[in-house]
Structures are given as C-alpha cells and as structure tokens.
Amino acid sequence: MSSPWRAGPGNGNDVEHTVAATSDGFAWAWGSNTNGQLGNGTTTDSAYPVQVKTDATHYLGATSKVVMVAAGNRASYALTEDGKVYAWGINNRTGWAMEPQPTAPMRPPSRQVPSPVADLTGIVQIAAGEWHAMALKNDGTVWCWGYNNFGQLGDGTLTNSAYALQVVSQNGSGHHHRGQPHCRELRVEHGRQGGQ
C-alpha cells in the first residue's frame, strides 16, 4: 500500500504545527491551530491531519493542485501548480500580502482559511521563515514579505512589509537569487531551482 503523503522539500513544519501536500495535490495540516494555521476554518487544535479548505465546502487543491507547502510561526503557505501562492494563519507580523498595494484596508490578526497572495504570479517555489515568507518566480526573481527586523526580506531595509517585495542587490537592482536565502527550504543553485 503506497502512502499519499509526499515527504521532503515542499512540506513544512514549525514548532507547533505541520502542513503537508499529498500526492493527489491537496494540503493537510495538524498540530496547534491557535491562529487558524491549519486552514480548516476553525481554531481547534488537531492531533490528526485535517484537510485545508478555501471555504466551508471547497478544498485547497481542488481547482489547481497543491505542489508545495511551507510553515512559518503560526502561519501556513501553499503553492499551486498554476503558480499561485496561498497564505493563512497569523497576520500580526508575517502579513499574508493578500491585498494589492497600496490601498489595502487593515487586515485582521488571523485568517482561518487560505487566501491568494496578491500580485504574485508564475511562482515555482516557496519557503517560510519564522515571521516571513519567500517566493521564487519562474523568471528567477525572489520575492519576500513579513517581518524584517534582521533584513530577512532582502530589500535593503529593516522595514516590515505586508506586501511581497523583490529581493534587491546592494546597488538596488532586482536580484536573481543564486545562493541559499534566509528562509529554509528555498534553494536556487546555478540559476536553476534546486532540490536535494
């Protein structure tokens, strides 16, 4: 009997919860759910995997398969095969980057179901740090959002951002990342998306 769970790159866990993609293209999560990071529409913890929903009757992956997931501190992220990124869970520092800038209204402190990250298309990989997230586009550019107290967004500032910002080089130009970034599990080697 084969397992539906995919292991290795593309699955995520933080200290309190885990999120995983299955071989049939859906996302499941378990553990702490204080801020809705399990994505099942509740804040009830679960010792068993629960399927991530987009609303009361639809599951993430139903219209475009989930190909990668990542977990931050009380926040979760998923990448679908159509190049879109979804986020859910806590929003006090990480930011979901869901509303297009710059006219976004105030965001609530947490979201219990996934919503698409705004202004990001053509994404091929995602990763999450403790309070920030990162996405690699098919053109080689890297985009980050969230908490920036150590400069982990790579935009040359220490300013937090609820919006995805392109990582820039020291001269201020857009950066095509070729090294190991601050987030865990996102690897780009020699200009190609890397695995092992």
Q: State pLDDT tens for residues 55-106.
A: 989 999 999 999 999 998 889 999 999 999 999 998 754 455 544 444 444 4
Q: What angle do CA 115, 116, 121 make, to 5 degrees?
A: 175
Structure tokens that stand for 92 in this block: 């006090």
Rounded to an integer, the average pLDDT of 30-46 is: 94
For the chain, which domains are there?
12-193 (2.130.10.30)
Q: What is the pLDDT of residues 144-185, one digit of tens each?
A: 988 888 999 999 999 888 888 999 876 555 544 444 344 444
Long-range contacts of 155-160 (CB under 8 A, 24+ apart): 160/93, 160/95
pLDDT at position 121: 92
